[in-house]
Structure 1
Amino acid sequence: MPSHAPLRAGAGVPVSKIGARRVATIAFAAQGACVAAVYTTVPAITEHLKLAPLLTTALTVGVALAAGGGSFLGLAAIRRAGPVAAMRGAMLAAAAALVLIGWAPGRTSVTCAYLLFGLAVGALDVGVNTRAAEIERAYGHSVFGSFYTAWSMGGVVAALLTAGAARLEWPVVGGLSLQAGSVLLLAVCMRTHDLPAPEGSQATVAQTPLGHRVWVRLIPFGLVLLVVYVIESSVSAWSAVYLRQTLAASLTVAPLAYAGYQAGTVIGRAGTDRLVQKLGTGTVVRTAALLAAGALAALAAAPGWPFAVLAAGAVGLGASVLAPLCLASAARLRPTASEAVLARLNLFNYVGVVTGGAVGGLLGSTGHFRLAYALPAALAVLLLAAARHFTQPSIPTRTERIPPVERADPRPLG
């Protein structure tokens, strides 16, 4: 049974919000680990295969473009088999891509492996965010931040594994194979848990057009997501190379900026849901945007790698809350078609990744990596104008929370 289907009499499966939330958390952690494993090994792959700087930039852009296509593959998989099955399949494909990247003997094979990774991570992105939107709707309060905390924790662990493998002088294939095995294990551990939903809400998703007004209301969220992922891509894709080339850090130290960035996102996202409930979404968004802008400026001016690692952590602290709150607010525009909304919103995501990756790579290849962080600092200030479009989650009605057949059952819910 697809994970989004409502329970029917005699199904024998209890509604389990806790179980569904745990599975989604695992998938978010796996996605964060995959992305970190790829980005933090870029310097090692570049040196191992003797790739030209422009080719490395092209591969980064190619991953983002493939991920955009993967979003629509993920959407098709969700409609056919449900978000949990789509997440599991995407995780298996991502694990295979990590192994192929590590074992690639030349430029053609590594290019194909990176493109496969992009398709897999794009499909996984739609799956995890769709499931998170369903779970937040079932809970009736902000929980998106907790999922992205898991994403960041997965990234921190993967970045530290990359640094540890370099410290032990392992070949890059060894480190990536270890990371792929971890993702594979997480995929195997995933289970399906049903969530209550309004009668017939999911049956009409594929046939219901979003409408022109929804597209217009998506524009502010798309622009926010674009800027956020320019920042994300600039730090994630190029911070290791920035430390290595501009700040003369070793291969052991170079991944620590990414680890610092993800550590900052863990802290920021761990407090997101509580801050939203206490201060309101708009206030949290404005504060986060200002913090991200200041930290990016500090990263651009870093005199050495220790300062850069701290600045990257501050960037993560500020930027971390913006994407989950943006996606959660956008999904509430059309709750019964959240996967369609998020698949299209992801286009802004990958435009941001392409822009950040391409601009960062081009500036870096000409010796101006510091500008790659100064420019996003200016863009982050512009996010203040979009804060008013962010909304709070609403508490679901009793009909939404408990299907009629379950209300008649005196046994406690699972």
Structure 2
Amino acid sequence: MTNAPSSTVPALSTPHMETARRALALIFLCNGTLFATWAVNIPGVRDRLHLNAAEVGLAVLAIGLGSLVTMPLTGGWTARFGSHRVTRVCAVACMLTLLLPFLAPNLITLVVALTLLGAANGALDVSMNAQGVTVERRIGQPIMSRLHASFSLGGVLGALLGTLLVGNVPMLAHVGLVVAATTLAGLLAGRLLLPDLPLEEAVPGAPQASTWSPAVLLLGALCFLGMLAEGANYDWAALYFRDVLGLTEGRAGIGYAAFVTTMTLGRWFGDRLRGRLGDEGIVRGGAVVTALGLALALLVREPLLATLGFALSGLGLSNVVPVLYGAAGHALAGPGIARVATIGYTGFLLGPPIIGFLAGIVGLPAALGLALAGAALVALLGGQTFALLRPPASEK
């Protein structure tokens, strides 16, 4: 006998549902703060353990590999125990495991620690997005983009805090402060999340996501392509401005800053736009904007226009993954988000190194064309994908 979410879900007041939305947004924000805290302290960990660039790369890769282990499993956990319970446990586990890399005495233990951090984060990524779909259904309006905007805001908060503390306080004190604050927030917020709706009520007539159905594969492919383009912007924008456009070290981050800023703003206002354009419109339209932005940046190669291009890319991509996660949760029975998220995250993990490999052969501008092609494919395949998710006319 499993501990499946109860088939009798109590009616909730609007204030209760709004409280749940804010609690979940806080968990997303804490998750973003956590990863920004790790990112700003990577140089300190490198220096403390005397690592070279290849060893740092191996350590960072461990986070992604750990996530890929737990992501496919979390769909089953949420189906059995409820996304609210899994999110609550994984949020606390994720915050606590941030301490482990900073306690590691050597490269081997660092890789193990980061694998555990990645595993906890992969499970949290799937479960909190599944909970987002539950809250979205209860409220009756789109909220997924705003939740992902909270993650981005958490990254900004973590980066700002790191700017103040890194080099001024001991690294372990900085991390300990973040872990204590985010763990407490996770414990409090986790108690306010909502139980899932019964499957037959939540997804009537849905294709079974426990198999690799065409809907799962196509949604996963769109997520893969979208996250490949996102990872390319994150990891290669600054190098493109420095090595290709010739900007100085201090100004080379302008393209990255433009991308992150418009992505955050696009997510903050994306739910309203999603309500007007629909899921298919915002995914395909966003992909077109991304492709045009990258084409402008890669073909014109003038710093001001390239900055505009990366800004357009961030704006276009801002709602692609949140909407695809939401579509998976709404339209697929079983662990739909888990399978789609796993395929998508593979693109985020593999995309940047593939572009790096290609850059060594054909140059960085041509290699970044892979991200442009990915965005164009999202626009082309989006219609077929969303057509598969629409219920038959008799069920509308």
Q: How does 1:144-223 map to 2 (within 5 A)?
A: 144-166=144-166, 169-170=168-169, 172-190=171-189, 191-194=191-194, 197-198=197-198, 210=209, 215-223=213-221
One-letter identity of the residue aligned with 2:370: L
Aligned pair in 2 of structure 1 residues 59, 262: CA closer, same or farther (>3 Å)? same
Instruction: Provide the rounded CA distance (Å) in 1 between the counterparts of 2:360 and 2:230.
Output: 19
Q: How does 1:1-400 map to 2 (within 5 A)?
A: 4-5=5-6, 7=8, 16-166=16-166, 169-170=168-169, 172-190=171-189, 191-194=191-194, 197-198=197-198, 210=209, 215-237=213-235, 249=249, 261-296=259-294, 313-334=311-332, 336-337=333-334, 340-360=335-355, 362=357, 373-388=368-383, 389-390=385-386
Give yes or no for contact 1:3–1:192 (8 Å, CA) kept in 2: no
One-letter identity of the residue aligned with 2:70: G
Q: Which stretches in structure 1 are left out of the alignment for 5+ residues?
A: 203-207, 395-414
One-letter identity of the residue aligned with 1:20: A
Residue 81 of structure 1 deviates from its aligned partner by: 3.5
User: Number of residues paired by the alignment?
Assistant: 379
Aligned pair in 2 of structure 1 residues 393, 293: CA closer, same or farther (>3 Å)? same
Moved more, 138-147 or 188-197: 188-197
Instruction: Provide the rounded CA distance (Å) in 1 between the counterparts of 2:113 and 2:46.
Output: 14
Greater helix percent: which structure?
A: 2
Residue 342 of structure 1 deviates from its aligned partner by: 1.0
Give yes or no for contact 1:33–1:154 (8 Å, CA) kept in 2: yes
Aligned pair in 2 of structure 1 residues 80, 332: CA closer, same or farther (>3 Å)? closer
Instruction: Provide the rounded CA distance (Å) in 2 between the counterparts of 1:384 and 1:146.
Output: 22
Identity of aligned residues (%): 23
TM-score by length of 1: 0.76
Instruction: Provide the rounded CA distance (Å) in 1 between the counterparts of 2:242 and 2:53.
Output: 13
Moved more, 32-41 or 144-153: 32-41
Q: Which stretches in structure 2 are left out of the alignment for 5+ residues?
A: 391-396
Q: Per-residue displacement from partner, 1:291-335 (whole Å, max 9, x unpaired)? A: 32344456668777x99877655433221100011112222223x
Give yes or no for contact 2:83–2:130 (8 Å, CA) kept in 1: yes
Residue 222 of structure 1 deviates from its aligned partner by: 1.0
Residue 47 of structure 1 deviates from its aligned partner by: 4.7
Instruction: Provide the rounded CA distance (Å) in 1 between the counterparts of 2:180 and 2:279.
Output: 38
Aligned pair in 2 of structure 1 residues 240, 62: CA closer, same or farther (>3 Å)? farther
Moved more, 121-130 or 227-236: 227-236
One-letter identity of the residue aligned with 1:330: A
One-letter identity of the residue aligned with 2:34: C
One-letter identity of the residue aligned with 1:327: Y
Give yes or no for contact 2:75–2:336 (8 Å, CA) kept in 1: no
One-letter identity of the residue aligned with 1:116: L
What SS does the corresponding residue of 2:141 show, helix, strand or coil?
Answer: coil
Aligned pair in 2 of structure 1 residues 299, 48: CA closer, same or farther (>3 Å)? farther
What SS does the corresponding residue of 2:331 show, helix, strand or coil?
Answer: coil
One-letter identity of the residue aligned with 1:5: S
Give yes or no for contact 2:293–2:308 (8 Å, CA) kept in 1: no
Residue 254 of structure 1 deviates from its aligned partner by: 8.6
Give yes or no for contact 2:222–2:344 (8 Å, CA) kept in 1: no
One-letter identity of the residue aligned with 1:219: L
Match of 1:205 in 2: none
Q: Per-residue displacement from partner, 1:71-103 (whole Å, max 9, x unpaired)? A: 144334424532222222222222223222233
CA RMSD of aligned residues (A): 4.0
Aligned pair in 2 of structure 1 residues 112, 169: CA closer, same or farther (>3 Å)? same
